[in-house]
Amino acid sequence: MAGRFYPGNRRRLAHEVDRLLATAGRAPEPAPRPVGIIVPHAGYVYSGPVAATAYAQLAQLADPVDRVVVLGPSHFVPLAGCAVPAATAFETPSGRVPIDADCCEALAQRPDVVRSDPPHAREHAIEVQLPFLLRVLPAGWRLVPVLVGRTAPSAVADLLDAADGSASLVVCSTDLSHYLDHDTAVERDRRTAEAIVARRAGAIGDRDACGAAPLRGVLTWAERHGHRVRLLDLRTSGDTAGDRSRVVGYGAFTLLP
């Protein structure tokens, strides 16, 4: 999606990400270290300002992050279960992102996980998070990209338990409502945001979020471990890009210990 969802030039991309982060501002001091974030994944002109409010929380992390587990929906390849890639890196205009191949191989031993590149090849849900992550996190982390298809939320929570570590970060990539008028979307997304903050995975319907499957799994994992969820931003593409007749909803949240 380089050159389409976000700038394809390294310098222009860095400038755009920095501009979005500066506009979002920094987290209040002192802020607990997030164990995860929930962010949208559309083109930066649409969802970038909302996503940046979550990534701004990570820009001041003092402790290193060794592993980033990014979960997103599979928009183009139907999946029963989850898919991790066989590739060893993702190439972006911002640089190469190494994949934690050992972790992916271990996850692929699970009966509900396949190791396959084709589901990831055209998918933007994980890709658009990488320039932000490269900008806000110190070098040295490795990526665990997980596309989530038809699978139980408890299975996704189990996968996160298997992949998680003391220096890990979980990123859930999902947009909210799709193609409603602005006022209808605002009301639906408000209800969805309330369910997310309350960690009520069962209240998230398939039409409430395009990444409903990974979102329900992350909320189940958060409920299991007592992680709190805090709403940071809730807007639509009508707020960020102007047209309010047919919008997509975006929300940004942090998961706190």
Angle of CA points 160, 250, 139, to nearest 5°: 50
State both tokens at 215.
């979102």
The strand pair at 228-236 and 247-256 is best described as: antiparallel
Note whether residue 29 is domain-resident.
Answer: yes
Total of domains in the chain: 1
Helix (H/G/I), strand (E/B), else coil: 22: helix
Give the pLDDT confidence of 172-206 residue by residue, as tens digits.
999 999 999 999 999 999 999 999 999 999 999 99
Give the mean pLDDT of the chain. Answer: 95
Note whether residue 256 is domain-resident.
Answer: no
pTM of the model: 0.96
Note whether residue 251 is domain-resident.
Answer: no
Note whether residue 4 is domain-resident.
Answer: no
Note whether residue 248 is domain-resident.
Answer: no
Q: What is the largest CA-CA distance in the chain?
A: 46
Give the pLDDT confidence of 199-219 residue by residue, as tens digits.
999 999 999 999 999 999 999
Residue numbers of the domain that contains 119 = 10-237
Q: How far apart are CA 49 and CA 61, in angstroms?
A: 20
CATH at residue 172: 3.40.830.10
Tell me phi and psi for residue 170, to 5 degrees: -105, 130
Note whether residue 116 is domain-resident.
Answer: yes
Note whether residue 252 is domain-resident.
Answer: no
Note whether residue 246 is domain-resident.
Answer: no
pLDDT of residue 60: 75
Residue 28 pLDDT class (50, 70, 90 cuts): low
